[in-house]
Amino acid sequence: MAAAEFSGELPPVHFPPGFLWGAAAAAHQVEGGNIHNDWWAWEQAGRVKESSGRACEHWTRYPSDFDLAVSLNHRAHRFSVEWSRIEPKEGEWHDEPVQHYVEVVDALRKRNLEPIVTLHHFTTPQWIASQGGWNNPKIVDAFGRYVERVAKALKGRVRFWATINEPMVYVNMHYLEGIGPPGVRDLRQAFRVTEHMIQAHALAYKILHAHATPDMPAKVSIAMHAGFFVPCRPWHPLDRMVATLTDQVFNVAFIEAITEGRWIAPGIAKVRMPQAKGTLDYLGVNYYGRQFLRAGKGGPGQWVGQGCNLDHHTRQVTERTGMGWDVHPQTIYHILLRWKRLGLPMFILENGTWMDDDAARWRYIARHLYAVGRAMQAGANMLGYCVWSLMDNFEWAHGFGPRFGIIEVDYATQERRIRESGRKLGEVYRTNRLDPTP
Binding site for ligand IFM (CB under 6 A): 26, 29, 166, 286, 350, 388, 395, 404
Which residues, in sequence order, are CB contacts of 192 under 8 Å at separation 6+?
A: 135, 266
**Residue 166 vs 239, nearer CB to ligand IFM:** 166
- Closest approach of Cβ 110 to ligand IFM, in Å? 26
**Residue 227 vs 261, nearer CB to ligand IFM:** 227
CB atoms under 10 Å from CB of 411, counted, come to: 15
Which residues, in sequence order, are CB contacts of 311 under 8 Å at separation 6+?
A: none
Region at 201 (left for phi over 0; alpha for psi -120 to 50; beta for the rest): alpha
| Identity of residue 3 | A
Catalytic residue check, 195:
no
**Residue 166 vs 281, nearer CB to ligand IFM:** 166
- Closest approach of Cβ 222 to ligand IFM, in Å? 12
**Residue 273 vs 346, nearer CB to ligand IFM:** 346
- Closest approach of Cβ 323 to ligand IFM, in Å? 7
Q: Which of 114, 166, 177, 195 is catalytic?
A: 166
Q: How far apart are CA 60 and CA 88, in angstroms?
A: 19
- Closest approach of Cβ 226 to ligand IFM, in Å? 11
- Closest approach of Cβ 84 to ligand IFM, in Å? 16
Query: Is 392 in contact with 409 (CB distance < 8 Å)?
Result: yes
- Closest approach of Cβ 422 to ligand IFM, in Å? 17
What are the catalytic residues?
A: 166
